[in-house]
Amino acid sequence: MKRLILAASIAALPLAALAVPAHAQAVQTAPVVSPGATVLTVQAEGRTTRVPDLAVFSAGVTSEGKTASEALAANARAMNATLSALKASGVAARDMQTSNLSVSPVYGQQKRLPDGSTEGDPVIVGYRATNQVQVKQRDLARYGQVIDTLVKAGANEVNGPSFQLDKPDVAQDEARVDAVSKARARAELYARAAGLKVVRILTISETGGWSPQPPMLYARADKMMMSAAPSPVAAGELDVSASVTITFELAPQ
């Protein structure tokens, strides 16, 4: 009953009462600049550095067999040993994630004729199974030891690491503050040179982020096992950056 009364009441209103003024729908998309003011746009980049506390790498096993089942079975045995080695090294289950699992045929070499062409169709001579897991290593002091343990357990492909920050927010905020400070100082410089002063900030936009070091590519496992000492790893530092574009309003001094 209340719905009917409300509908009737609305229907009884004149159209003028229901219309929304056009100016009420307008959206202000940019700040209003004072008459006679000068607008200056400045780009600046802020930086800070941090010692990484996280190393991300991939470890895996590639196995071959006469049949796909044989290749998969051999791969499963070696990969289970690899995962067990990771757990025994203190890597939590949440820090391990399968990134690739595949089986593909292996083709034999085709007969090459004197003119350089090949004869016949490619022949499958076996199968190759690959299983890779992405790992987050949080104890960087034990990274080299973990890699060597994986190799001894059967991993024959190890790639990485990519050094990162587990919680980059604080460092990112430092870089943002530095970027805004540099932009403001640059705007003050331009203003003084032009005989003006900075009145206010009109707009701010941001791009950028922390920049990890390029990952190192480890050699195949059989070469890594030649060294009895743990594989050396240098974590270095990470550059955390933030870029801002700020528009200032300038006015006469």
CA distance 219 to 132: 16
**% the chain with pLDDT above 70:** 79
Residue 176 contacts residue 206 (beta carbons within 8 Å): yes
DSSP, collapsed to helix, strand or coil, labels residue 197 as strand
Q: What share of the chain is helix, strand, coil (3-state, %, to 5)?
A: 35, 35, 30
Question: Which residue is listed with tokens 């940019």?
Answer: 30
Mean pLDDT of the chain: 82
pLDDT at residue 131 greater than cutoff 90:
yes
Residue 209 contacts residue 241 (beta carbons within 8 Å): yes
φ, ψ for residue 216, nearest 5 deg: -90, 145
**% the chain with pLDDT above 90:** 64
Question: Which CATH number is 54-110+119-164 given?
Answer: 3.30.70.2970
Q: Could you tell me the residue ranges of all domains in the chain?
A: 31-52+167-214+234-253, 54-110+119-164
What is the pLDDT confidence band of residue 236, given thresholds at 50, 70 and 90? confident
Residue 128 contacts residue 63 (beta carbons within 8 Å): yes
Measured N-to-C along each axis, helices 143-153 and 68-88 cross at an angle, to the nearest 10 degrees, of 150
Q: How many helices (H) and strands (E) does the chain have?
A: 6, 10
CA distance 174 to 46: 8
Convert the pLDDT of each residue in 28-69 to its tens digit.
566 777 777 899 999 999 999 999 999 999 999 999 999 999
CA distance 232 to 156: 18
Residue 230's pLDDT is 67
CA atoms within 13 A on the CB side of 65: 14
Q: pTM for the whole thing? A: 0.67
Residue 129 contacts residue 62 (beta carbons within 8 Å): yes
pLDDT at residue 8 greater than cutoff 60:
no
Residue 127's pLDDT is 97
CA distance 49 to 210: 9
Question: Which CATH number is 31-52+167-214+234-253 given?
Answer: 3.30.110.170
Residue 55's pLDDT is 93
Element containing residue 186 per DSSP (H, E): helix 169-193
pLDDT at residue 109 greater than cutoff 70:
yes
What is the pLDDT confidence band of residue 234, given thresholds at 50, 70 and 90? confident
- Relative to beta strand 238-252, strand 38-50 is antiparallel
Residue 34's pLDDT is 77
Q: Which residues, including other chains, have CB under 8 Å from residue 55's CB and lie 6 or more apart?
A: 136, 137, 140, 143, 160, 161, 162, 163, 164, 233, 235
pLDDT at residue 210 greater than cutoff 50:
yes
Its sign, for the CA torsion 172, 174, 179, 180, is positive
Tell me what the mean pLDDT of segment 149-177 comes to: 93
CA distance 33 to 250: 10
Asked if 31-52+167-214+234-253 and 54-110+119-164 have one fold, the answer is no
What is the pLDDT confidence band of residue 219, given thresholds at 50, 70 and 90? very low
Tell me what the mean pLDDT of segment 118-147 comes to: 91
What is the pLDDT confidence band of residue 224, given thresholds at 50, 70 and 90? very low
CA distance 68 to 38: 72
More confident site: 13 or 136 = 136
Convert the pLDDT of each residue in 183-204 to its tens digit.
999 999 999 999 999 999 999 9
DSSP, collapsed to helix, strand or coil, labels residue 36 as coil
CA distance 29 to 191: 26
